[in-house]
Structures are given as structure tokens and as C-alpha cells.
Amino acid sequence: MPEPYTYQGWTLYSRDVKLKRGPKVTIYFFSKRKPKSGNKMYEMPKGRKVGVNKRTGLPFLRKG
């Protein structure tokens, strides 16, 4: 079984979210623990790369 995508101890997850006025969108987030909802990502989504918040040190995905 493949390993989930991790970055410095953080695991990447995805979740489909329904916006109030509009379509469903997929959000990506990192977590050190298992979230209440969301699926582990086993590879980086296309067109995304990891950024790190300078103030908090939390990783996030950015376009590019």
C-alpha cells in the first residue's frame, strides 16, 4: 500500500465542501492527527506546491 503524502510530519488530506451559493469544491489541508472528515492524499494534486506560513510554520498548498 502506498504511503500518504507527508511534509515535515504533516499529512495531506482532501475534503469536498459545498459552498453556500455555488458548486462543490475540493479543499486540501495538512494535519498531524486524523481529522473528523477527509481522505488521505497519496500524491500531490496537479498544479499545486507546498508553501509554509512564515508566522505559524504551518504548511499549505498553493497554486503554481
Tell me which residue range forms the domain holding 12: 6-63
- In this prediction, residue 30 carries a pLDDT of 97
Phi, psi of 47 (to 5 degrees): 75, 15
Partnered with residue 60 across adjacent β-strands are: 51
- In this prediction, residue 64 carries a pLDDT of 84
Output the pTM of the full model: 0.88
* Domain assignment present for 38: yes
* Domain assignment present for 31: yes
- In this prediction, residue 14 carries a pLDDT of 97
The one-letter code for the residue type at 3 is E
* Domain assignment present for 40: yes
Cell numbers placing 37: 472528515
* Domain assignment present for 39: yes
Phi, psi of 20 (to 5 degrees): -60, -50
- In this prediction, residue 1 carries a pLDDT of 78
Cell numbers placing 43: 500524491
Q: Which residues of the chain have pLDDT under 70?
A: none
- In this prediction, residue 42 carries a pLDDT of 96
Domain count, the chain: 1
* Domain assignment present for 1: no
| Cα 39 from chain centre | 9
